[in-house]
């Protein structure tokens, strides 16, 4: 806390002082507000505290809304024109978020000038209205009290001093004027991959000013292999754009299409669109992978194999499909052969409607072969299109390291990224950076890299920045700020403009300047103005996607049986496969509590990154989940806890990078284990010949599922409920296209589906209501669309002010997420066949005969006339009987006041007025992220999914104001809105024309735990699998 | 065998200052139909009974009492401290979680309520059945009931998330115009337990009034006279009063009998009414009541054996009393064992998968040790009571009783935790481990129980003198003996 | 405390001590047959047959208990019905607003509670207790009434009371001691 108590003069509350007449108040606020020194809080009389806070908050609201740059810089609201702004009314603005060099279009909801919720932009090609969990969570970063708030300089003596921007500008001005004289000799820039027109323009601009400066790009997860692959196949750098909805058969080769691909949202959406058995559309997904990705988890056929074998398998596949030049057969083992046989047959049948996709981690040659196979099948231009890969005139981080070593770098400017943490270990970059005389780091956090630099300056969060960016296919979108920089950070462009000594330094001007060249428009400022307004409003600019190219293959594939055979070398040692953490990306989100607490899609582990091990390897090594092992590759070694994961390829140790940060912030420090030290520039994808030995130590992993070792009977019971491989169980039902026509295997989903007309089985008494006055809210969850990506979990957390509980509490099974995605494995974990995976999202199903209600002694949970099982928080006394009696166990109890509890620490006692803890002890800045439409629950009350009742009310009010009836689609729950595959549909099941009604009448619809007769309003749609016919001729 | 009582009586003629019958163990458990075995042994005429019982209260406080009281009350102190910690920090200090939402607090609640039942059973049901032998132990057992219910009552109050609004459970007019929800078993509990506590208290107090009057009339100190005087409401032993007194007592017994059966039935509804496999079963009410009596008598034995030994009440709380209680324990123990069996049978016979797994898991799952230990304590241990040697040897039966005390707590643990931790959807199966606070509070509640009990022994008549006297045969010989004693006593005063 | 009674002293009645229950029962019969109305027998425990010996009529207590019990039932029923079905109705688990079966336990408990209070308060009421002052307490001898002695007290206000005659009667039927009770 101490660094924040003494605040810089120029932070974002400055504006308050302009507004506030009373200097004493301002002084108070300056000390008080984001300073929030608990000591000060404690000694201040309560009334006075509240008065000042009241004043502060009022002014804050006023200021922030008043200070939005609308009048000055013409921000265009998405929904309605700001002249009509009603204080307290929600507004949505279009913006964009760039990660991995691709920008996703967003619509951000603001409340009185505070961004509180992020949604996808339906117009944007890479969003289509959806977002992923990470993007959802970035709003929490915005209000992260740990963000860097002021420039820091490292003195000659080596201690780091806090500075002001003026001091930095003064230094930078002089320094770069000097450099300019040298033409920028010895000046180097290190930045992340970006396709933002403005960033590229600034790059060009700096090349003008400093002709001799050099640029380097670094992303821990690079696409070099993919680009190299396309060069091998087509002779030039091309970017494949997959069109999954056109494909009948898709083979994903180490490709996490839905998990880590920049266009994952579009992929998921297109894939799911072609997976509607009742509509007669059902594609088939084959997966060959060296990890268990969510893509693999929803594949109809999956082959888990060591990364070293993949090239061989693909080459054999290419041979089967008569790819020119691939002649030599490669020895495959039975499992591989069986798989390739069937895959090849399936692809041959599908022909042009098939698609081979390859992940960035795979070797260039695999990419090449994939391109050639697609060509051979005639898929080019059908299921896969190409655009020119945007050229990157930049060196690699390895080159930078060499340059520094040769003492030819005098000044290094690091824009964002965190190379001090995630650079390949062999480069020893940390040491190198230290050796550069002048290093300037622009970063969101004062992190590992900043600590090495002579200057650290705060970067503006993207919600505070003017920016632009390109979608995966090149479509341009403009990012507008939603709030003034809370900590006075600057954007990359703003900083560079400053270094270049340009006059125009404001982000707005810079972006607008590039926009003139990027946004197509007729001549004339007025025309541009219109185009610009439209771009801001839509969030994406039409006709800006890169032109499609029809590439020709060059040469023929070399067939390299020998090399492949070598790669096979199964030495009994393990391959260590490096993957980004599905929750924390490459580690840059490590200080985000929402993401840390999001369960891993497969292991369901929170707050950790255990190494994944197959059941057989675990047996061989004599380790079980929770054992700490030492993993050594050559002379490098790290210690990691193990998680034994069914479906993990044998012989592969799956390592998730990004955890174990040392300088992430209060949330992320020391959470998990840092595995980057294992990873060298030679082994970016995987490292072979790793030795793994148990240290004999145990480590507690906090998982939201499987809190215990499964005994035999438990396993049998689970199988009975989940169903044996490929069959339906009691709670998880499965279908195959064969079932259509009749709905065999589905059981009668019909009879117990609640009907608005009250048609139902015999009951012993008449219900007091049909719960359909005037609407009958209901939901369907399609298990065949769900990819288990967790976006809904985070979206729900953001929408409903769900607290973070911390690892200890999760370990006690007290996580608060309203949505669980239950992950089940089917099949024998010991067997060759990779197990089937089921993702079953479960939240409150709003039973009409809700068992929770009758046991509540104080009627704190009751039904409304529209079928909502409502929770009356302030009536709840916390007997927890409702939770006991809930067969779905979807109720969550506030065992502590989680909002006022730091995730890492035990709950603090509260001697004040009961129920007032969070009102007083929740950090003021953190509090800004709360959704004002949703009660923040206090300690000791029960909570659960409400079907987003606040959204229902908002829609109702909006319609009523216009004197209209609610229409189907007016109400979109947070989970539904974010879902890339539209697996969740909400609406009025009483309305015969509603989408949800149609889905509830689908033969796939069934109530989970139907036999209990609780008449849930949420129905699940049976999981549809599409296995290839077994009887085929290879 | 021949009833030894006559000889016993003879050899115990005359009254030594510390007569042997106080320490000697006399077997009066003979069952010769021709000879009703006496319920009071030795040279016990009215005076002696009064002496023996009141002297316990009138003698100076023994050191052993102080030691025991110090230990018990320090546990009570710990309990209070833990309550403070709980209220300020939140119920999360317990081990409960989202899956196992109920654990120690509710287990302790059910356990203590169960203990209470023996008291009411002895005082009410045995009274209706004219079981005269109850007279010398009923006071004692009723006191135990009150204290057990006190301990029980605390847990539901503190186990809720917001104890400071617990009064919302009671139907009182309020400006929110909200009322409790009468369909909830928890609300039934509120009514059942409060009624039970109140009626037990009334029953206990009413029965004690004449004995308080005795203490009043013997009291030397001013304070004692005043306090006992007020407490005894000016009782004069008027026969007109006795008439109504006996009627009232009879009616209270008649009311308490269905009440005691209802209370534990209602408690069992907390589980039976829910639809959780392992809870949702119709056998619970009788099974719980039997279990309560079973465990309750075990606790009476646990208290009575040392008490009669230490306070020299062997001639009032005789072997016969103890043996009768053992017989009841054996009987109810068999019922409980049968209930365990039937639960499993029903589960298997139902063909209901979830039900079947719930019991499979109970016996073979992670909590199997608790289950089998429970079987050992509640089903195996009581079988020793078939042997008369065990039934009539105080310390043997004490050992059995201890097993049963443990077993009955475990029974509730098994029912609550092993059913909750794995229910319908395997994905949210979970595990429960108690925290140190859980354990501390359990220990603390025992502390409270014994603290109250020690205070009772010290300041209130442990045996219902009036009732004992009423069942003593008033034959001339005895009264002659009585005259001796009386004159002696009279001379003394 | 055997001071010679002067005429001034107002005699409240006579207190006779007996040693055994049978003795006092016999004496009670005599007193009853002598036609006394305002008198009483005091004993450490309820003596069998004393009611008949004194000619006491059965108490009305059971009717009080019945009445209060019925009152309890009605209260419980009305409470559950009015609060849950009339004053504050809400949908719970799709059950009827007035679900009588679910209300039964509460109704039962209120019945028992009310009846129990009826019994206890009724008993003390009829016995005019608490009555902390009682002239009998001034007799050292009377202290043993709660221990091992039996007493007959005849009130001076009894129509057929006369100090000498009554004392004679009592001594005649085996009283070990007879004392005058003073106001």
Cβ separation A895–B179 shorter than 8 A: no
Considering the entire predicted model, what is its pTM? 0.88
What is the tens place of the pLDDT at every residue in A174-206?
A: 999 999 888 888 899 999 989 999 999 999 999
User: What pLDDT shows up at residue A14?
Assistant: 38
- Shortest distance between the Cα of B253 and any Cα of chain C, in A, equals 9
**Exposed e or buried b for every residue in A44-73, given b needs 16+ CB within 10 A?**
eeeeebeebbebbbebbbbbbbebbbbeeb
Lowest-confidence pick of A222-231, A633-642, A827-836, A951-960 = A827-836
What percent of chain A is modeled with pLDDT above 70?
87
* Phi, psi (rounded to 5 degrees) for A289: -150, 160
Give the confidence band of B32 by pLDDT, cuts at 50, 70, 90.
low
Tell whether A881 lies on the interface with B, counting CB pairs under 8 A.
Answer: yes
Cα angle: B310, vertex B312, B317; to 5 degrees? 105
Q: Is B86 exposed, middle or buried (0-12, 13-18, 19+ CB in 10 A)?
A: buried
B 242-261: CB under 8 A from C: 242-248, 251-252, 255-256, 258-259
Q: How far apart are alpha carbons C6 and A376 in whole angstroms?
A: 139
Residues of A with Cβ-Cβ distance to B89 under 8 angstroms = 896, 907-910
Tell me if ipTM is over 0.90: no
B chain contacts of residue A942, beta-carbon cutoff 8 Å: 161
pLDDT at A34: 44
Stretches in chain C below the pLDDT threshold 50: 1-6
Tell me the chain B residues in contact with residue C84 when contact means C-beta distances shorter than 8 Å.
179, 181-183
Residue A525 has pLDDT above 70, yes or no: yes
- CB–CB of A1015 and C92 under 8 A? no
Q: Residue A958 region, left (φ>0) first, then alpha (ψ -120 to 50), else beta?
A: alpha
Mean pLDDT, chain B, rounded, equals 85
Distance between CA B24 and CA B41 in Å, rounded? Answer: 11
How far apart, in Å, are the Cα atoms of C5 and each of B428, C1, C161, C164? Answer: 90, 11, 17, 12
The residues pairing with A358 across neighbouring beta strands, listed in sequence order, are A253
Listed residue (A472, A477, A479, A493) closest to A390, CA to CA? A472
> What are the pLDDT digits (tens) for A325-364?
888 888 888 889 999 999 999 999 988 999 999 999 899 9
Q: Rounded to whole angstroms, how far apart are CA atoms A696 and A676?
A: 23
Please state, as a whole number, how many other Cβ atoms lie within 10 Å of the Cβ of residue B379.
17
Mean pLDDT, chain A, integer: 85
If you compute the radius of gyration of chain B from its CA atoms, what whole number of angstroms results?
24
Label residue A714 exposed, middle or buried (CB < 10 Å: 0-12, 13-18, 19+).
buried
Angle between helices A307-320 and A561-568 (to 10 degrees): 150
Q: In angstroms, rounded to a whole number, what is the distance separating the alpha carbons of residues B286 and A934?
A: 46
Q: Which residues from B are below 8 Å from C62, CB to CB? A: 247, 251
Tell me the β-bridge partners of A838.
A824
Does any CB of chain C come closer than 8 Å to the CB of residue B4?
A: no
What are the Cα distances from residue A669, in Å, to A429, A590, A611, A923?
Answer: 21, 8, 19, 19
In this prediction, residue B98 carries a pLDDT of 92
Question: Is B45 at the interface with chain C, CB within 8 A?
Answer: yes
DSSP 8-state secondary structure symbol assigned to residue A709: P
CB–CB of A813 and B97 under 8 A?
yes
Confidence of residue B139 (pLDDT cuts 50, 70, 90): confident
- List CB contacts (< 8 A) between A851 and chain C: 93
The rounded distance, in Å, linking the Cα atoms of B411 and B371 is 7
Strands A214-217 and A187-191, how do they pair? parallel
Average pLDDT (A638-649) is 93
- Per-residue pLDDT at B253: 92
**Where do runs of H (alpha helix) occur along B20-103?**
46-58, 63-89
Which of A64-78, A785-799, B194-208 is least confident?
A64-78
Lowest mean pLDDT among A494-498, A697-701, B135-139: B135-139
Residue predicted with more confidence, A22 or B477: A22
Q: Kindly tell me if the per-residue pLDDT of A890 is higher than 50.
A: yes
Of A321, A331, A300, the C-alpha closest to A374 is A321
| Bigger pLDDT: B191 vs B491 | B191
Predicted local confidence at residue A571, as pLDDT? 54
Which chains have 3 or more CB–CB distances shorter than 8 Å to chain B? A, C
Alpha-helical regions (H) of A182-331:
197-209, 224-234, 264-273, 294-297, 307-320
Listed in sequence order, the residues at least 6 apart from A546 whose beta carbon sits closer than 8 Å to its beta carbon are: A387, A388, A390, A473, A474
When mean pLDDT is compared over A309-318, A402-411, B444-453, the highest value belongs to B444-453
As a whole number of angstroms, the distance between CA A272 and CA C3 comes to: 113
pLDDT of residue B15: 37
- List the single residue in C with minimal CA-CA distance to B245: C123
Backbone angles phi and psi of B35, in degrees to 5: -130, 110
Instruction: Assess whether pLDDT exceeds 60 at residue B272.
Output: yes
Q: What is the pLDDT of residue A357?
A: 95
And the tokens for C94? 């799709």
User: Chain C: nearest CA to B470, how far in angstroms?
Assistant: 6
Contact B244, C127 (CB under 8 A): yes
Is residue B169 within 8 Å of B467, Cβ to Cβ? Answer: no
Instruction: Mark yes or no for CB contact C90/A849 under 8 Å.
Output: no
Q: How far apart are CA A437 and CA A884, in angstroms?
A: 64
A730:B96 CB<8 A: no
Identify the helix (H) or strand (E) that includes residue A289: strand A284-289
DSSP tally for chain B: helices H, then strands E: 19, 0
Compute the nearest-CA separation of B438 from chain A (Å): 14
Model confidence at B90, in pLDDT bands (50, 70, 90)?
very high
Cβ-based contacts of A851 with chain B (< 8 Å): 274-275
Please tell me the least confidently modeled range out of A303-307, A317-321, A560-564, B406-410.
A560-564
Cα–Cα distance between A435 and A186 in angstroms, integer?
13
- What residues does A892 pair with on adjacent strands? A943
All residues of chain B having their beta carbon less than 8 Å from the beta carbon of residue A812 are 95, 97
Provide the greatest CA pair distance for chain A. Answer: 92
Distance in Å, alpha carbon of C61 to nearest chain A alpha carbon: 36
Residues of chain A contacting C93 with CB distance shorter than 8 Å: 849-851, 853-854, 863
Three-state secondary structure readout of B254-285: HHHHHHHHHHHHHHHHHHHCCCCCCCCCCCHH
Contact B233 C131 (CB under 8 A): yes
Q: What is the pLDDT of residue A881?
A: 94
Interface test with A, best of B87, B88, B96, B98 (most A CBs within 10 A): B98
The residue among B54 and A802 whose pLDDT is bigger is A802
Q: Decide which of C59 and A26 is more confident.
A: C59
Is A392 in contact with A222 (CB distance < 8 Å)? no
Task: Say whether pLDDT at A602 is over 90.
Answer: yes
Whether A706 contacts chain B with CB within 8 A: yes
* Lowest-confidence pick of A524-538, A919-933, B207-221: A919-933
Decide if B181 and A713 are in contact by the 8 Å CB cutoff. no
- Report whether A126 contacts A471 (CB < 8 A): yes
Q: How far is C87 from chain A (nearest CA, A)?
A: 14
Q: What is the pLDDT of residue A649?
A: 92
Distance (Å) from the alpha carbon of C70 to chain A's nearest alpha carbon: 26
Minimal Cβ distance to A849: which of C88, C90, C93: C93
CA trace torsion A384, A386, A389, A390 (10° rounding):
-120
């Amino acid at each position: 806390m101490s660094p924040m108590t003494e605040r810089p003069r120029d932070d974002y509350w400055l504006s308050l002082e302009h507004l506030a007449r009373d200097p004493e108040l301002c002084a108070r606020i300056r000390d008080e507000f984001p300073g929030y020194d608990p000591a000060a809080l404690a000694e201040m009389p309560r009334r006075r505290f509240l008065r000042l806070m009241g004043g502060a908050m009022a002014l804050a609201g006023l200021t922030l809304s008043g200070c939005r740059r609308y009048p000055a810089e013409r921000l265009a609201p998405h929904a309605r024109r700001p002249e009509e702004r009603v204080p307290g009314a929600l507004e949505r603005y279009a913006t964009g978020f760039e990660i991995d060099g691709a920008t996703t279009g967003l619509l951000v909801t603001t409340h009185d000038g505070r961004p509180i919720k992020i949604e996808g932009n339906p117009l944007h090609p890479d969003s289509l209205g959806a977002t992923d969990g990470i993007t959802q969570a970035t709003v929490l970063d915005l209000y992260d009290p740990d963000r860097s708030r002021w420039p820091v300089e490292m003195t000659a003596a080596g201690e780091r001093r806090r500075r002001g921007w003026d001091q930095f500008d003064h230094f930078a001005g002089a320094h770069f004027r000097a450099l300019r004289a040298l033409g920028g000799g010895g000046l180097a820039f290190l930045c992340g991959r970006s396709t933002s027109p403005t960033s590229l323009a600034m790059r060009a601009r700096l090349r003008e000013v400093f002709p001799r400066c050099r640029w380097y790009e670094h992303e821990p997860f690079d696409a070099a292999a993919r680009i190299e692959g396309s060069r091998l196949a087509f002779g030039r750098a091309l970017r494949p754009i997959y069109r999954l909805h056109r494909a009948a058969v898709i083979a994903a080769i180490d490709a996490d299409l839905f998990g880590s691909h920049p266009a994952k949202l579009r992929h998921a959406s297109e894939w799911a669109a072609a997976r509607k058995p009742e509509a007669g559309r059902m594609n088939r997904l084959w997966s060959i992978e060296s990890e268990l990705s969510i893509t693999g988890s929803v594949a109809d056929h999956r082959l888990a194999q060591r990364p070293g074998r993949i090239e061989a398998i693909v080459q054999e596949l290419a041979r089967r499909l008569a790819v020119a030049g691939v002649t030599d057969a490669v020895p495959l083992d039975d499992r591989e052969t069986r798989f390739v046989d069937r895959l090849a047959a399936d692809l041959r049948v599908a022909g042009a409607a098939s698609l081979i996709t390859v992940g960035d981690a795979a070797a260039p040659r695999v990419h090449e072969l994939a391109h050639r196979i697609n060509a051979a099948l005639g898929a080019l231009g059908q299921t896969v299109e190409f655009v020119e890969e945007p050229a990157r005139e930049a060196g690699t981080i390895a080159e930078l390291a060499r340059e520094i070593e040769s003492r030819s770098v005098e000044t290094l400017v690091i824009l964002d990224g965190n190379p001090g943490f995630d650079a390949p270990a062999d480069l020893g970059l940390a040491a190198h950076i230290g050796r550069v005389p002048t290093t300037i780091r622009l970063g969101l956090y004062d992190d590992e890299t900043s600590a090495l630099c002579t200057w650290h300056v705060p970067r503006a969060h993207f919600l505070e920045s003017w920016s632009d960016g390109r979608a995966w296919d090149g479509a341009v979108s403009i990012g507008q700020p939603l709030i003034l920089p809370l900590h006075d950070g600057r954007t990359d462009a703003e900083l560079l403009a400053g270094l270049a000594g340009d006059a125009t330094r404001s982000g707005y001007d810079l972006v607008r300047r590039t926009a003139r060249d990027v946004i197509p428009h007729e001549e004339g400022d007025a025309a541009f103005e219109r185009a610009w307004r439209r771009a801001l409003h839509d969030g994406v600019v039409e006709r800006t996607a890169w032109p499609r190219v029809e590439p020709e293959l060059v040469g023929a594939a070399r067939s390299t049986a020998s090399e492949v055979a070598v790669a096979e070398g199964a030495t009994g040692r393990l391959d260590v496969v490096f993957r980004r953490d599905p929750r924390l990306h490459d580690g840059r989100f490590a200080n985000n509590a929402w993401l840390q607490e999001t369960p891993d899609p497969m292991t369901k582990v929170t707050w950790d990154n255990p190494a994944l091990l197959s059941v057989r390897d675990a047996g061989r090594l004599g380790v079980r989940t929770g054992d700490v092992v030492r993993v050594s590759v050559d002379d490098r070694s790290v210690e990691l806890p193990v998680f034994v994961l069914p479906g993990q390829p044998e012989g592969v140790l799956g390592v998730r990078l990004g955890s174990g940060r040392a300088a992430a912030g209060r949330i992320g420090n020391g959470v998990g284990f840092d595995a980057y030290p294992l990873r060298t520039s030679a082994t970016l994808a995987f490292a072979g010949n790793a030795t793994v030995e148990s240290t004999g130590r145990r480590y507690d992993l906090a998982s939201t599922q499987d809190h215990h070792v499964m005994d035999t009977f438990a396993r049998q019971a689970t199988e009975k409920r989940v169903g044996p491989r490929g069959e339906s169980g009691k709670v998880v039902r499965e279908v195959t296209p064969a079932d259509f026509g009749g709905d065999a295997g589905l059981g009668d989903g019909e009879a117990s589906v609640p009907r608005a007309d009250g048609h139902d089985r015999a009951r012993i008494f008449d219900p007091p209501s049909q719960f359909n006055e005037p609407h009958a809210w209901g939901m369907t969850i399609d298990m065949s669309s769900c990819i288990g990506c967790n976006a809904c979990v985070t979206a729900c957390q953001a929408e409903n002010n769900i607290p973070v509980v911390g690892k200890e509490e999760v370990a006690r099974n007290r996580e608060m997420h309203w949505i669980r995605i239950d992950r089940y494995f089917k099949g024998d974990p010991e067997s060759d066949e990779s197990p089937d995976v089921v993702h079953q999202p479960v939240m409150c199903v709003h039973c009409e005969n809700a068992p929770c209600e009758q046991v509540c002694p104080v009627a704190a949970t009751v039904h409304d006339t529209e079928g909502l099982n409502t929770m009356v928080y302030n009536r709840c006394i916390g007997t927890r009987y409702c939770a006991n009696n809930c067969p779905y166990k979807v109720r969550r109890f506030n065992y502590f006041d989680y909002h006022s509890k730091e995730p890492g620490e035990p709950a603090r006692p509260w001697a004040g007025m009961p129920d007032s803890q969070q009102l007083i002890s929740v950090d003021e800045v953190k509090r800004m992220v709360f959704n004002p439409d949703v009660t923040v629950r206090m300690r000791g009350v029960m909570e659960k999914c409400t079907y987003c009742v606040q959204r229902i009310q908002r829609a109702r009010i909006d319609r009523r104001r216009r004197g209209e009836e609610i229409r189907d689609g007016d109400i979109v729950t947070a989970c539904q809105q974010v879902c890339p595959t539209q697996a969740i549909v909400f609406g009025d099941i009483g309305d015969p024309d509603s989408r949800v009604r149609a889905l509830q009448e689908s033969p796939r619809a069934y109530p989970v735990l139907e036999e209990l007769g609780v008449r849930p309003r949420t129905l699940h749609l049976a999981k549809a699998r599409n296995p290839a016919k077994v009887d085929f001729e290879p | 065998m021949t009833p030894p009582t006559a000889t016993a009586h003879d050899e115990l003629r005359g009254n030594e200052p510390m007569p042997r019958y106080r320490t000697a163990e006399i077997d009066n458990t003979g069952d010769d139909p021709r000879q009703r075995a006496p319920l009071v042994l030795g040279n016990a005429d009215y005076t002696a009974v009064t002496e023996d019982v009141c002297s316990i209260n009138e003698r100076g406080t023994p050191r052993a009492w102080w030691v025991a009281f110090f230990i018990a009350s320090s546990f009570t102190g710990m309990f209070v401290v833990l309550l403070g910690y709980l209220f300020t920090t939140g119920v999360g200090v317990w081990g409960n979680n989202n899956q196992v939402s109920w654990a120690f607090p509710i287990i302790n609640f059910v356990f203590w309520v169960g203990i209470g039942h023996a008291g009411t059973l002895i005082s009410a049901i045995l009274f209706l059945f004219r079981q005269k032998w109850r007279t010398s132990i009923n006071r004692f057992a009723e006191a135990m009931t009150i204290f057990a219910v006190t301990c029980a009552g605390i847990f539901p109050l503190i186990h809720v998330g917001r104890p400071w609004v617990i009064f919302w459970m009671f139907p009182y007019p309020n400006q929110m115009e909200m009322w409790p929800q009468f369909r909830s078993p928890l609300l039934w509990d509120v009514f059942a337990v409060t009624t039970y506590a109140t009626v037990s208290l009334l029953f206990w107090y009413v029965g004690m009034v004449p004995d308080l009057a005795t203490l009043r009339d013997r009291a030397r100190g001013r304070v004692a006279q005043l306090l006992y005087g007020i407490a005894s409401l000016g009782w004069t032993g008027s026969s007109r009063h006795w008439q109504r007194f006996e009627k009232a007592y009879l009616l209270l017994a008649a009311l308490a009998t269905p009440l005691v059966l209802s209370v534990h039935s209602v408690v069992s509804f907390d589980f039976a009414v829910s639809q959780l496999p392992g809870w949702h079963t119709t056998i619970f009410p009788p099974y719980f009541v039997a279990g309560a009596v079973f465990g309750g008598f075990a606790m009476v034995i646990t208290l009575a054996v040392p008490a009669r030994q230490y306070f020299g009440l062997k001639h009032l709380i005789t072997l016969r009393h103890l043996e009768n209680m053992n017989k009841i324990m054996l009987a109810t123990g068999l019922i409980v064992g049968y209930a365990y069996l039937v639960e499993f049978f029903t589960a298997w016979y139902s063909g209901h998968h979830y039900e079947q797994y719930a019991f499979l898991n109970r016996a073979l799952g992670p909590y199997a040790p608790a289950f089998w230990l429970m079987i050992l304590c509640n089903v195996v241990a009581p079988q020793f009571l078939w042997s008369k040697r065990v039934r009539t040897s105080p310390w043997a039966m004490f050992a059995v009783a201890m097993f049963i005390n443990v077993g009955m707590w475990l029974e509730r643990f098994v029912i609550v935790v092993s059913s909750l931790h794995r229910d319908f959807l395997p994905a949210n199966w979970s595990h429960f481990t108690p925290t140190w606070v859980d354990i501390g509070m359990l220990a603390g509640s025992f502390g409270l129980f014994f603290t109250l009990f020690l205070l009772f022994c010290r300041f209130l008549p442990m045996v219902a003198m009036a009732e004992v006297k009423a069942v003593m045969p008033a034959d001339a010989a005895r009264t002659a003996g009585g005259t001796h004693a009386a004159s002696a006593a009279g001379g003394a005063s | 405390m055997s001071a010679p009674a002067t005429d001034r002293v107002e005699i409240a009645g006579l207190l006779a001590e007996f040693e055994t229950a049978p003795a006092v029962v016999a004496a009670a019969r005599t007193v009853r047959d002598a036609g006394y109305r305002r008198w009483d027998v005091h004993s450490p425990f309820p003596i069998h047959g004393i009611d008949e010996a004194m000619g006491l009529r059965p108490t009305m207590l059971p009717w009080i208990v019945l009445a209060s019990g019925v009152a309890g039932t009605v209260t419980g029923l009305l409470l559950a019905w009015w609060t849950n079905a009339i004053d504050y109705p809400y949908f719970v688990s799709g059950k009827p607003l007035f679900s009588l079966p679910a209300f039964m336990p509460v109704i039962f408990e209120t019945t028992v509670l009310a009846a129990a209070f009826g019994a206890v308060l009724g008993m003390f009421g009829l016995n005019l207790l608490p009555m902390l002052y009682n002239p009998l307490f001034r007799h050292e001898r009377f202290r043993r009434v709660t221990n091992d002695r039996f007493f007959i007290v005849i009130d001076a206000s009894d129509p057929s009371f006369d100090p000498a005659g009554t004392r004679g009667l009592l001594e005649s039927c085996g009283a070990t001691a007879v004392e005058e009770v003073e106001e």
